Amino acid sequence: MTRVVVVGDLMTDAVARAKFPLARASDTPAVVTMHGGGSGANIASWLAVEGSEVAFIGRRGADITGRNRDMELMGYGVDARLVMDPERPTGTCVVLVTHKGERTMLSDPGANAALSPEDLPRDLFTAGGHLHMSGYTLINEGSRDAGLAALDMARRAGMSISVDCASAAPLERTGAEPFLEWTDGAKLLFANADQARVLTGRDDPSAAAKVLTAWFPQVVIKLNTEGALWFSNNRSEPVRAPAEVVDRVVDGTGAGDAFTAGFLPAWLDGKPPAEALAAGNALAAKCIANLGARPRL
């Protein structure tokens, strides 16, 4: 089994689900719940619960929230390598869900923004392993050096590398050209349709994936209710897999992270792309049937 090392963000998600249309400058009844979050930590948690050997590298505050997030990761079976920040709090994301299910996120990275190259455990970067780099680590200026150092260490160790695009709005603020330059050498890119559009200017996901194979040998585009597609630089047509039917959507937060965690083990085992896509879609469906972005303990 290939050990997966995830470098990324650890957050607490405060999810507010509005019961009615938002009353601007006034009150709207809502249900507010707190959950472990952070794209990188979510991916590591789903990988561990599904049986992968996984380590997570990140940073947390010296607060009760950070301790709880640390214990959660260990409860999932993650080898959590978290550095405690003496000054910054554990990151927090406010997830605002409208009565129609649309999500808007307000993020305070907290301790995540201080991740440094010195925080990277050298023993995790060994031949035969796989590094998954959260795009948030690269997009955030404070943690960027750590992300670049991790990518360099993985290349030197001969590890395979995958990266994701984080979120469309911060990716657009950062710019496509720097992101593509930083992730040079990665074998696999995960993006959704909006993120692929930011990187390529192409509205059609298949066309965007084809363009992206100029930088990445393999590209996966997540298409929400339409499933996902995989494209490589030696094919003329993408491989597609439909989304799984979900009887009741409880919470879409973290579904893309769960997809990544479902896809990676099958891909690392050399399974056909259609099988890896189906595994990703299956775990995403499992996620959206749960409350929060993490597996149930």
Residue 117, domain member (yes or no)? yes
Residue-by-residue pLDDT tens, the chain, 297 positions: 799 999 999 999 999 989 999 998 999 999 999 999 999 999 999 999 999 999 999 999 999 999 999 999 999 999 999 999 999 999 999 989 888 878 888 999 999 999 999 999 999 999 999 999 999 999 999 999 999 999 999 999 999 999 999 999 999 999 999 999 999 999 999 999 999 999 999 999 999 999 999 999 999 999 998 999 999 988 889 999 999 888 777 777 889 999 999 999 999 999 999 999 999 999 999 998 887 889 987
Q: Residue 165 in contact with residue 193, Cβ under 8 Å?
A: no
Pairing of strands 54-61, 103-108: unpaired
19 within some domain: no
Looking at residue 289, its pLDDT comes to 83
Distances in Å between the alpha carbon of 293 and those of 46, 75, 95, 288?
A: 9, 15, 11, 8
User: Is 224 within a domain?
Assistant: yes
**149 in any annotated domain:** yes
CATH value at residue 196: 3.40.1190.20
Cα atoms found within 13 Å of the Cα of residue 165, Cβ hemisphere only: 30
Q: Using the 8-state DSSP alphabet, how is residue 111 labeled? A: G
Q: How many domains are there within the chain? A: 1
Answer whether 96's CB lies under 8 Å from 224's CB.
Answer: no
- 102 in any annotated domain: no
Q: Which phi and psi angles does 71 have, rounded to 5°?
A: -65, -35
| pTM to 2 decimal places | 0.94
Please list the alpha-helical segments (H only) found in 131-272. Answer: 135-139, 144-157, 168-174, 176-182, 193-200, 205-212, 255-268
pLDDT at res. 291: 77
Range of the domain at 157: 4-10+37-88+110-288
Residue 164, classed as helix, strand or coil, is: strand
Residue 50 is assigned to a structural domain of this protein:
yes
Give residues with Cβ within 8 angstroms of 236, minimum separation 6.
Answer: none
Residues contacting 235, CB < 8 A, separation 6+: none
- Residue 25 domain flag: no
